[in-house]
Amino acid sequence: MKNTTTYIFILFCLLLPYFGAAQQYDPKKVCHLDNGNIIFKLDKRWNQKQKKEISRLFDLDSTLLAKAYQGNNEITIRKEKWMVKNIDKYTFELSKVINSTSISHINANDIFIMDEFLNNNYNTTLKENTIYGINSFKDISLFQYRNYVARFFIPGQRQVRNIYLSGSFNNWTTAQLPMHKTDSGWVVNIKLPPGKYLYKYIIDGRWTEDPNNNLRERDGHGGRNSVVYCINHIFQLPEYRHANKVVLAGSFNGFNGNELKMYRTTRGWALPVYLKEGTYTYKYVVDGNWITDPTNKITRNDGGGHLNSVLGMGEPYIFQLKGYNDSKHVYLAGNFNGWNPKELEMVKTPTGWKLPYILAPGMYQYKFIVKEGHWIVDPENPYSVGSGDFINSVVAIKPNHTFILKQFQNAGIVIVTGSFNNWNPDEYWMIRKNGSWVFPIYLPAGKHTYKFIVDKKWIIDPSNKLFEANDVGSSNSILWIEP
């Protein structure tokens, strides 16, 4: 088993240059083989986050890495001896002797045997902060998206033996999506939900950007990935066919009146767009004149006397306030609308006020504004953030985890905080429920570290066996959220 593991590890280091889209560092500058030794070139200036990424990327023991950075010249970990050699003021080498047969036969085609290893060790899911996007292909026929099926097409390439599609949608696996050769080029269909995706083509073993896609992003290590959006809405403006220029502008792009140019159609103007789940306001700019959408009857005052069209993507959350029937108006304000006090007017009901409002999964702070402009927290919501005169109600939209602390029932205040809120000591206030302290939360996929603050004393989670050392000489509990 040891020899097999060593072989896979060596093979991984040799093949890392082919996986540019799935790393944070250039492997040729960090890991290489030399005369029977495997050598890592490390930088003393790297911060803790960069060190952890190196440890994860190359499967290096964190204790080994810590001792190397402490200046040890010789380190033994799991009966393996490692040597540390200073190169200059900022760099040093960490190396060990490897025992293996010749590996000169390894070539680029062996890239395909690594699929299972990569799928188990990489998670390149895009960040959830992509709000909107439009495609920019040289010909619209080169990418099509209908009924949740994306069709990728490469024209020509007649002399090529094989082409594979790889991207963030399949964890950058190399052999899962072979493209099919046709008379006019290569094609593959893949079922995808709406969203933003990064991808490349593997043409006869070589990673290649899509030459027919104008959208690209740097991958962080000298290369670029092609970008595609699977759209979920088409903005359409009928009439105005004689206009010279029509632009879409909305809250999703800061009401930029020059960015999202619409396409002329036989009926007017259109623009296919991907929009993240949420509520948006927008207008069309027709030859410099800003107008609401004539096909959309839902409008809302922006708080300054101007109307905007309103579009919601997803299921609404119902904000409710009981009582206050003597108020002429009640408004909702939160970090989801820039705390605008005059935009979100609530609807009066027999028992109080309500407002359906669509929000993407996440954590949101809010307050109600009642008679005489008085700001109040939600009396029906026990969860809050802040302290003193600055306390807001907080709600988790589509929560995917609940923090639970089963002890300290006599405590006065218990707060959970962590990497998900920049370790804010005023977020989030837990409540007593069924003999425990609880707080429901939505967290993005990936690793999170956290602690509880019990009456101003910071502690790790006593029921969680996963923890790690931090930079201040103590430990943090660890939580993993699956995609």
DSSP codes, 133-184: E---BSSGGGEEEETTEEEEEEE--TT-S-EEEEEGGGTT-SSS-B-EE-SS
Q: What pLDDT, on the 0 to 100 scale, is given for residue 370? A: 94
What residue segments make up the domains of the chain, in order of their start?
2-106, 132-230, 245-311, 316-396, 399-481
Q: What pLDDT, on the 0 to 100 scale, is given for residue 2? A: 44
The three-class DSSP label of residue 10 is helix
Cβ–Cβ under 8 Å, residues 74 and 170: no
Q: What pLDDT, on the 0 to 100 scale, is given for residue 177? A: 86
> Whole-model pTM?
0.67
Domain 132-230 sits in CATH at: 2.60.40.10
Q: What pLDDT, on the 0 to 100 scale, is given for residue 439? A: 97
Q: Output helix, strand, coil percentages for the chain, rounded to the nearest 5.
A: 15, 45, 40
Domain 399-481 sits in CATH at: 2.60.40.10
Q: What pLDDT, on the 0 to 100 scale, is given for residue 379? A: 96
Assess whether the region 132-230 and the region 316-396 belong to the same CATH fold.
Answer: yes
Q: What pLDDT, on the 0 to 100 scale, is given for residue 27? A: 46
Closest listed residue to residue 309, CA positions, set 288, 335, 279, 331: 279
- Which superfamily does CATH assign the domain made up of 245-311 to? Immunoglobulins (2.60.40.10)
Instruction: Average pLDDT across each block of 10 residues of the chain; the chain has 483 residues. List them in order.
Output: 46 47 49 70 84 72 84 81 87 75 37 36 51 90 90 87 89 84 89 93 89 89 88 92 93 93 91 94 96 94 89 94 92 93 93 95 95 92 87 95 92 94 92 94 93 95 90 89 82
| CA-CA-CA-CA dihedral for 249, 255, 258, 260, to nearest 10 | -40
Strand-pairing partners, residue 77, are 80
Report whether the peptide linkage leading into residue 148 is cis, meaning its omega lies within 30 degrees of zero.
Answer: no
Q: What pLDDT, on the 0 to 100 scale, is given for residue 259? A: 93
Among 3.30.160.40, 1.10.3720.10, 2.40.50.660, 2.60.40.10, name the CATH number for the domain at 316-396: 2.60.40.10
- Rounded Cα–Cα distance for residues 394 and 9 (Å): 46
